[in-house]
Every structure is written in structure tokens, then in C-alpha cells.
Structure 1
Amino acid sequence: MSRIITPASKKASSIFRRLWRAGDSSVLYSRPAVYYVRQRIREGFEEHKNVTNENILNDLFERCENTIKFLEISAKRKGFEHKVIYSLCEMTYIQNRYKRRPPHSNKRLSLELYNMHAHSYDDYYLTVKMMNDSLKLCLR
């Protein structure tokens, strides 16, 4: 089955490669962090792979351009941007470890404790969402 190549898909693949390179340099090519950045980039593109609305695509492309600039600044200086990227990589590591083996996976949890674990990342996701909205980024 052949895939139809449109100008939007060409632009998306170009932005994907640019994000990939900027992400690698933003974590200074350190081995585990490179994998976490790449994982997040892949997840973001998988989430929006079926979008066909031109307005939404243009907004996503603008957000990707802003994110590339953010990652490039993160690579150049160890300021706020670098700390944000470092924190995102740490959270990806923690979430991956949690998915493999949740805490107390061999014990039956009370409903209250189960709900605490189920909603433990809500504040983190809200913070990232608010930062993305205010800076017009697409960090994950």
C-alpha cells in the first residue's frame, strides 16, 4: 500500500527531523536522555498523525517551530530552558519505570491509595499544558 505524499506530510517530516536534531543537542547527546526526548517526539507525532484540518496543522507547525527554538536555546545555555528539558527527561524516566512495575504491584491497594497512584501525574501534566499554552510550545 503506497502512502500519499502531500506538502503537509513533507513539512511534517522535515519538522520531525529538525525536532529530532534539536532534541539531541538540547540534552547534550547524553545517552539515556536522548532516548527520552526521542520517545516524546515520536509520541507527539503519533498523537496528531491523522489531523487533516489546515488551521490545526498550521498551529501545530508554529508550535513545533517555537519548540525547536526552545530546544536550541536549551542546548546553548544552562538556564530555564535546560532545566525544563532536564525535568521532562527525568519524568519520562520515572514514568517508564512506573509502567514496567508500579509500586506495590504485588499487593492489593485500598481504593484511596489506588486513586492517589492513578492521579499522581495530574499536576505535572497540567503544568506542562499551561507552559505549552503560554509559550505556544508542544513539549510533552
Structure 2
Amino acid sequence: MRFPIAATGFACTAAAATLVLSAGTASAADGNTQTTIYTLANPGICAGIIDAGVGHYPDSAALGLTGMLYGVGPCSVELTFHFKRQGDGVTADYTRKLNGPGAVGTSKDIVQPGIGIWDVTVTSNGASFGAQPMKIDIPKYEG
């Protein structure tokens, strides 16, 4: 089955935006919370368009990945969310593996880097470009 790249990219972007919006109420300190990364995968001959998103709950962050790996497989790519807290520079990394070719993604994945304002970047273990920095404010749970 063949998918037009433009239509698939739009669908993936819409799915990631829905994930991010459903992850929790945005805080005033939040910046961009969704980005697209174009990446090569291996060991097969695959290239991917992956939408990555980050949202938050009290004391937690929600990670999301959706997209397509196009090519001849099997192939896989590892994407890492790098969190760096503003102010003290504390870091946390979360890596997720996507297998293709075909539609790829993760469910809403909850992680706990800690409270505070975080700069978040996404990198690939393959050659990639396009990912823009994201920023979220993870509030303390006040239950």
C-alpha cells in the first residue's frame, strides 16, 4: 500500500497535536510542544517522518511519537527525548524504538523527569534533521 507523503505527514501531525493537547492543561511557561523529525532508519533502507510531542501532568511528562517509516525493511530507529531543566541544568533522557516500515508510534508514554521548566529536544540514532526545541512546565502535584 502506498501513502502520499503530504497526506500522511498531515495525518501524523494532526495525531501528534491531538496527543499533546490531550496530555494536560498547558502552563504559561510552555513553548512549542510538538516537532517533526525527518530521519533515516536502519538496518533496512528506510526513511521516516516522525511527529514527536511532549505534554505534562503534575509531576510527569507525556511523550508521544507518531509517523511513518518508508522503505524496504525490516528497519528501526531510536528517538531520544532529552530533557534539560532551566535554572539548574538537571537532565533526563528517554529513548523509544520504532520498528518499520509502515505506520509507527507509541501510546501516550508517561515519564517523570521532575518538576520545573524543561527544554526538550528529540534526536535520532540515524541521520536526521528538522526537529525543533520544545519547552514545558511540569507543575508539582497538589493533590
Bigger radius of gyration, 1 or 2? 1
Is this a same-fold pair by TM over 0.5? no
Structure in which a larger fraction of residues adopt strand: 2
TM-score by length of 2: 0.34
Structure in which a larger fraction of residues adopt helix: 1
TM-score by length of 1: 0.35
